[in-house]
Amino acid sequence: MGTLRSLAGEELARALDRLRNPRPGGKVEAAREFGVDLTLLMEQLKLSPAERASRMHRLALAAESVRGAVRQNEA
């Protein structure tokens, strides 16, 4: 696997355009029709891989905290 890097400039603009205007009959269009919120993906693409990993880590910590609180309330 190659080095992870941020999308920028033309590359980011092209990716965002493909998500905003999916090709008819394509997988992105099918995902949107299924109900996938593509705006969430667009926001994530604007972040660096490190920023995305950091957000995911914070979310995992918050979820674990909630699980711990629920377990304490069940006891």
Rounded distance between C-alpha atoms, residue 29 and residue 24, angstroms: 6
Question: In this predicted model, what pLDDT tens digit does every residue of 22-69 receive, in sequence order?
Answer: 999 999 999 999 999 999 999 999 999 999 999 999 999 999 999 888
Q: How confident is the model at residue 1 (pLDDT cuts 50, 70, 90)?
A: low
Task: Assign residue 66 a region (left: φ > 0; alpha: ψ between -120 and 50; beta: otherwise).
Answer: alpha
Residue 8's SS3 state is: coil
The answer to whether residue 75 scores a pLDDT higher than 90 is no
Whether pTM > 0.75 for this model: the answer is no
Spans of all domains in the chain: 9-74
